[in-house]
């Protein structure tokens, strides 16, 4: 009887191991198919997929180097959103309701405007200043101006404060300058102390304005693996290696929806986007050309994509291939992998 029981147990173990091996083979094949599909998207340069803090796959394409820093374009805004939260939590900035006039007294002495002076940190975070955009068709004039702060503040109102979204890189740049003014150090030095340093992230490059302020809404370069770290930080409610770098409340509020894009079906929080992909609520940092940190909480997953910044169009047509890749291939793969675990 004991021998029979032993043999049945062995057979059950062999069957279970066989099923597990088959599932692993299936998942490996599915992952290779995902990478093949990503490679077929001419603009995509790297793709990394992580679930439950385990990197399931990472690949670079077209001879690119996976370990090099990439310009994450406007995904930089999401980093600035996090740094703003840290500056508030550390007491450098009193609250999100602090008016911007506190930080630009010289400008408002020369250009008094009670309405502009009432714009708050929160309005900057949610792109609800009402000021004309310095992005898209206005971006070139802004970046060649002698003073990016003054140029952004000089813009006329095109909407009411707290009204519709007016997406503007100049608005995010004001946040960077405020962080520097409030903390008494450069935005990069602040980030190195309170965010990048504790996460062992090294900036590959970061543009400055004519006055030497680090750019608040564009042209920060990070390694794709470090972008995954940022995504995991968000999944872990602001904790990294047991250290609470950002409060849970700030992460929650960053993922809120306070306004919506005028051009896409996306909600907007504190410099972070959100959108349902398939049946999963997804949050993401997004940069022109296809720079993404996707966070899918229900699947405990982070997906990072970097792309070429050349030949992008105002219609952002790269989205038409990247989002289907997430919905039709990566999400089913993550669902299956989660079940296997």
Q: What is the pLDDT of residues 177-194, one digit of tens each?
A: 999 999 999 999 999 999
Mean pLDDT across the stretch 260-275?
95
**HEC states along 246-267?**
CCHHHHHHHCCCCEECCCCCCE
Evaluate if residue 127 carries a pLDDT over 50.
yes
Mean pLDDT of the chain, nearest integer: 92
**Which residue, 291, 233, 277, is CA-closest to 83?**
233
Average pLDDT, stretch 106-119? 97
Instruction: Express each pLDDT in 276-314 by its tens digit.
Output: 999 999 999 999 999 999 999 999 999 999 999 886 665
> Is the model more confident about 63 or about 100?
100
Average pLDDT of the segment spanning 243-269: 96
Question: For the chain, what percent of residues have pLDDT higher than 70?
Answer: 89
Q: What CA–CA distance (Å, rounded) separates 179 from 187?
A: 6
Tens-place pLDDT, residues 66-78? 999 999 999 999 9
Which CATH class name applies to 33-340? Answer: alpha beta
Which pLDDT value is given to residue 3? 63
> Which DSSP helix (H) or strand (E) runs through 281?
strand 280-287
Quote the pTM value.
0.91
Q: Which residues of 252-274 are buried (b: 16+ CB within 10 A; e: fewer)?
A: ebbbeebbebeeeebbbbbbbbb
- For the ranges 25-29, 47-51, 310-314, the lowest mean pLDDT is seen at 310-314
Query: Which percentage of the chain shows pLDDT scores above 90?
Result: 84
Question: What pLDDT does residue 237 have?
Answer: 98
Q: Which residue has the higher pLDDT, 296 or 319?
A: 296
Q: Where are the domains of the chain?
A: 33-340
Alpha helices in 221-295 (DSSP H): 224-235, 248-254
d(CA 193, CA 151): 30
* 245 CB-near residues (< 8 Å, 6+ apart): 86, 194, 195, 198, 199, 233, 238, 239
């Amino acid at each position: 009887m004991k021998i029979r029981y032993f043999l049945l147990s062995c057979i059950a173990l062999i069957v279970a191991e066989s099923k597990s091996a088959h599932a692993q083979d299936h998942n490996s094949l599915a992952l290779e198919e995902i990478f093949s599909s990503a490679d077929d998207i001419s603009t995509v340069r790297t793709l990394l997929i992580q679930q439950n803090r385990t990197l399931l796959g990472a690949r670079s394409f077209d001879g690119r180097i996976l370990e090099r820093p990439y310009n994450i374009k406007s995904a930089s805004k999401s980093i600035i959103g996090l740094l703003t939260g840290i500056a508030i939590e550390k007491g450098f900035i009193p609250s999100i309701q602090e008016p911007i006039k506190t930080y630009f007294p010289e400008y408002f002495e020369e250009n008094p405007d009670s309405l502009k002076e009432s714009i708050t940190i929160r309005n900057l975070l949610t792109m609800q200043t009402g000021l004309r955009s310095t992005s898209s068709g206005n971006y070139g004039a802004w970046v060649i101006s002698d003073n990016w702060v003054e140029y952004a503040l000089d813009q006329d109102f095109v909407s009411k404060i707290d009204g519709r979204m007016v997406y503007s890189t100049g608005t995010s740049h004001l946040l960077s300058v405020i962080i520097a003014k409030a903390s008494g150090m450069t935005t990069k030095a602040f980030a190195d102390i309170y965010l990048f340093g504790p996460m062992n992230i090294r900036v590959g490059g970061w543009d400055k304005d004519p006055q030497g302020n680090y750019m608040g809404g564009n042209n920060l370069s990070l390694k794709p693996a470090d972008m995954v770290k940022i995504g995991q930080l968000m999944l872990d409610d602001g904790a990294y290696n047991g250290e609470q770098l950002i409060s849970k409340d700030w992460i929650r509020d960053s993922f809120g929806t306070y306004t919506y894009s005028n051009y896409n079906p996306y909600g907007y929080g504190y410099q972070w986007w959100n959108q349902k992909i398939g049946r999963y609520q997804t949050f993401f940092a997004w940069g022109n050309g296809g720079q993404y940190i996707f966070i899918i909480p229900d699947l405990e997953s982070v997906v990072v994509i970097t792309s070429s910044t050349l030949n992008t169009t105002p219609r952002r047509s790269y989205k038409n291939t990247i989002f289907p890749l997430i919905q039709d291939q990566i999400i089913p793969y993550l669902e299956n992998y989660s079940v296997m675990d």
